[in-house]
Amino acid sequence: MTAITLDGVKTASDIKAELRDRIAALRSHGVVPGLATLLVGNDPGSETYVAGKHRDCAEVGIESLRIDLPGSATSADVRAAINDLNHSREVTGYIIQLPLPVGHNENAMLELIDPSKDADGLHPTNLGRLVLGIEGELRSPLPCTPAGIVELLRRYDVPIVGQKVVVVGRGLTVGRPLGLLFTRKGLDATVTLTHSRTVDLAGEVRRADIVVAAVGVPHLIQADWIKPGAAVLDVGVTRVTDPVTGKGRLTGDVHPDVASVAGHLSPNPRGVGPMTRAMLLSNVVKAAEQSLLA
Ligand SMILES: Nc1nc2c(c(=O)[nH]1)N[C@@H](CN(C=O)c1ccc(C(=O)N[C@@H](CCC(=O)O)C(=O)O)cc1)CN2
């Protein structure tokens, strides 16, 4: 058996095509959706992701603005940039690219974002709304990677309701919010959130119908950890330099042999990453649509 590939590039491209129509409709009402990014330092991964976000915006018709601060920026510099973004009339939504360089308090910075401009859904107010399960008028942006994972599963008709989900990793951008999302009414999965101190991780993973690996440990998840037919999402990424070619390459958390046991498998790269970017665009468009209703 070879797993069905959960193709993030194709799915993200479908989503972008749908968003283009909604953006055209917004523009016809005089609403131009916009996104700003704040990047501090020159982490190669973050630079790639931010560049990709601006490319995506241009592709679908979202205005975008890029604020880059040097690695030497102080926390006061970052706070000042956030303050400017909060008060800018042109900027309706923005993100702070994570991780921030060592020495900056990420949670403190995220807390300074105006929650109504939080395109990433990572401000405590928006995470709190996810905890509360608030929908409808007060619907707030969902963190992009968890939203992308659920959307990818949905578009491939992978059942979620009543399924056992094991999430490996409890980070802010993936594991923690994903546990909340999967247990929301309507999705109704049973979630086990595992981490570095989990006893018998392999045993936990073996029970799962859906496995999400988001730790950044290359090939941690082995084929004999996987229940035959389970859906496996490979999210964590490690940049390694090939000792032979000297070129950098990306390695996911899931061992390639998992493809012979799983029912569905998201590759890494080209799986959840492009979905993360598509969900950011979706958050920006939803916010613009809500501004029209307000
Ligand atoms: N403010 C945020 N910071 C971070 C988030 C986030 O959602 N908000 N998530 C990750 C990084 N991330 C988005 O910012 C992200 C990760 C991966 C990809 C992606 O498309 N990856 C490609 C490979 C790209 C490459 O060559 O490196 C893929 O998987 O095919 C996009 C966005 C942490 N920070």
Residue ranges of domains in the chain? 30-115, 143-273
Q: Encode pLDDT of 225-237 as tens digits.
A: 999 999 999 999 9
Residue with tokens 């061992």: 255
Q: Which helix (H) or strand (E) holds 65?
A: strand 63-69
Q: Which residues are annotated as a binding site for NADP(+)?
A: 169-171, 237
SS3 label, residue 96 = strand
Strand ranges for the chain from DSSP E: 4-5, 34-40, 63-69, 94-96, 164-168, 190-194, 210-213, 231-234, 237-241, 248-252, 264-266
Instruction: Kindly report the protein residue whose alpha carbon is nearest to atom 23 of ligand 1.
Output: 269
Q: Mean pLDDT over residues 262-287, rounded?
A: 97
Is 143-273 in the same CATH topology as 30-115?
yes
Q: How far apart are CA 70 and CA 64, in angstroms?
A: 20
Q: Compute the mean pLDDT over every residue in the chain, rounded to the nearest whole number.
A: 96
**DSSP category for residue 209:** S
Instruction: Kindly report the protein residue whose alpha carbon is nearest to atom 17 of ligand 1.
Output: 273
Residue 120 appears among annotated catalytic residues: yes
pLDDT value of position 242 = 83
Q: Encode pLDDT of 14-57 as tens digits.
A: 999 999 999 999 999 999 999 999 999 999 999 999 999 999 99
Residue 53 appears among annotated catalytic residues: yes
CATH class of 143-273: alpha beta
Whole-number CA gyration radius for the chain? 19
- In this model, does residue 137 exceed pLDDT 60? no
The pair phi, psi for residue 245, each rounded to 5°, is -90, -20
Q: How far apart are CA 13 and CA 19, in angstroms?
A: 10
Q: Between 290 and 224, whose confidence is greater?
A: 224
Q: What percent of the chain has pLDDT over 90?
A: 91
* pTM exceeding the 0.95 threshold for the entire prediction: yes
CATH class of 30-115: alpha beta
User: Looking at 134-138, 181-185, 264-268, which range is the least confident one?
Assistant: 134-138
Residue with tokens 């940049």: 239
- Cβ count near 107 (within 10 Å): 9
- Residue 144, ligand 1, Cβ within 6 A: yes
pLDDT value of position 166 = 98
Cα 237 to middle of ligand 1, angstroms: 9
